[in-house]
A and B are shown apart, each in its own frame.
Chain A
């Protein structure tokens, strides 16, 4: 529909959109790579959505995770690669988790809306990281606003050259399966689900809402940080200004389409990644001149909003 409106070569553009991403190793790898980034961040969103809350700070958390990883990898150049990677991973997980922790703290102390504070904290962090990348931590690559490239020994190799798909990307589906196990097969997961369905019933069961909010937000922030880590060590090999762009909202869409089921985040991420990569390809090949991805994102989220409300009605009816 969108192609019909915006493209003068509607049919060739539509055909290219549907099949183009599977005709070359580069685009196929790009689809899979983007999907794995969506999976890791989408899992973070799925966990917090299970409790009935929203984490709108995904973009800032991904950026903070990636930036922390890049900086630690550059600062630990003299250490063995495994130690260096371990430190970078810890930093990538800790910084966004702290950002999310602040939201949990504001919720507990001030009853501040989590969706508002996660967004505000993320919006404050993004320009701050931009300023650090443009200033003190900038590498010397002409006009490129990025931290210095990480050394060869800490890069996860690409497995479908020339695409950016790397070995570490394979960890994202595994994380989703672990997430599924956590939510549907553990007592903690049951607590998350019951809190999401009814706060009152969770309190009646003796679950601590405070503990659930803190833990789920920290896990959500950490998973967004892991997304940043994967992006820096497997895709870009540097933290460039704005690499997170759109990733947070797309991951949220994946989690919503998957109805916050971590296992379903895998196919929803693959589908959305295919749509966005194809849209990018069509936009480039047919010179659409405007942000087609933004339009698709908006339409997609609008459709989800209807489906989501329908799903909630369905759940309520069954409960």
Chain B
């Protein structure tokens, strides 16, 4: 039983980070549709920088910095030209896939799976260390959101931005800050996915960004609710992944649809009606 719980917790690290990032952006009044694209981009950058610098730590840090800088530029542009944030984020998801494809072909000569002896990690330590890192980052995020003044501004931006305006606080800048924080969490999730696989696989996120949005919705846009939703979704994913032990003939593509089916079922059986959209 302890093993099962531990495995579910290990499995939850990337989704927990992505969901927490999505939650921060949701507080600021923007659905972080770009998270899926950032997970893919940061996973690739983590691999690329690690191989190029021969240091996993440098790889992770540079990946998070570059992905966040990319989102900073993107969000600033969205705010400046008053673009539709939802469509722009969809564009970013597609665009990041193209950038990964382009860079992968240019640097590594292939746009397929990338592996290297310089990007190999032992499974057990990788699982423990990434889980601990995910917990620390989430705890730090909760403290930031609920204890600091900047966190309070972010939480007010989505619901009562007029209050901030009346106090002379730049709402647009607060929204960009929330988006950048979401990008930090999403890129950490991307790094974790790449490290756990010891490789980069195209479309490594496999919809985790969208599942993160579903978790935020299921958690009724609260941090505790989101964490519970992530745990429930990961528990279902764990049991689905182990279904092949019981039903050996079940096809692998079918298992890929399980996380989404679970998310839909959870939305369906969740008590009450969610407020807002």
A: residues with CB less than 8 A from B are 6, 54, 102, 106, 109-113, 115-117, 119-121, 123-128, 130-131, 134-135, 249, 256, 289-292, 294-295, 297-302, 304-306, 308-310, 312-313
Contacts and interface: CB of A to CB of B under 8 A. Distances in A.
Given A120-B260, A128-B253, 7 more contacts: A126-B257, A127-B255, A295-B95, A305-B90, A309-B81, A309-B82, A309-B83
Contacts of A313: 82
A111 B274 contact: yes
B139 interface: no
A106 B199 CA distance: 37
Contacts of B31: 113
B275 interface: yes
A127 B95 contact: no
B165 interface: no
Interface string B85-128: 11110111011111101101110000100000000000000000
Interface in B215-254: 217, 251-254
B105 A125 contact: no
Contacts, number: 147
Contact of B91 (A106, A290, A298): A298
A312 B84 contact: yes
Given A110-B274, A113-B277, A294-B101, A301 B268 contact: no
Given A290-B101, A290-B105, A124 B260 contact: yes
B158 interface: no
B274 A112 contact: yes
A280 B18 CA distance: 34
Given A111-B275, A127-B257, A309-B84, A117 B264 contact: yes
B29 interface: no
A128 B96 CA distance: 26
Nearest to B273: A111
Nearest to B261: A124
Nearest to A301: B91
A interface secondary structure, majority: helix
Contact of B94 (A102, A134, A249, A289): A249
B195 interface: no
A295 B97 CA distance: 8
Interface of B: 31, 78, 81-88, 90-92, 94-99, 101-102, 104-106, 111, 207, 210-211, 213-214, 217, 251-257, 260-261, 263-264, 267-268, 270, 273-277
B251 A290 contact: no
A256 B87 CA distance: 10
21 contacts: A6-B102, A110-B273, A111-B276, A116-B210, A120-B260, A124-B261, A131-B251, A249-B90, A290-B102, A291-B97, A291-B98, A291-B101, A294-B94, A295-B99, A299-B95, A305-B78, A305-B86, A305-B90, A308-B87, A309-B82, A313-B82
Given A291-B98, A294-B97, A294-B101, A112 B267 contact: yes
B97 A121 contact: no
Contacts of B90: 249, 301, 305
Contacts of A113: 31, 217, 277
Contacts of B270: 110
B76 to A, nearest CB: 14
Contacts of B252: 131
A206 to B, nearest CB: 22
A306 B87 CA distance: 9
B91 A305 contact: yes
Contacts of B105: 289-290
A304 B81 CA distance: 12
A32 B96 CA distance: 29
Nearest to B256: A127
Contacts of B257: 123-128, 131
A295 B102 CA distance: 9
B260 A134 contact: no
A120 B262 CA distance: 10
A305 B84 contact: yes
Given A127-B254, A305-B84, A308-B87, A298 B104 contact: no
A305 B88 CA distance: 5
Contacts of A102: 264
Contact of B210 (A123, A125, A126, A127): A123
A309 B79 CA distance: 11
B273 A297 contact: no
B88 A135 contact: no
A301 B87 contact: yes
A116 to B, nearest CB: 6
Nearest to B210: A119
A298 B94 CA distance: 5
A258 to B, nearest CB: 14
Nearest to A106: B267
A295 B111 CA distance: 14
Nearest to A289: B105
Give the one of B94, B106, B217 with max A CB within 10 A: B94
B274 A131 contact: no
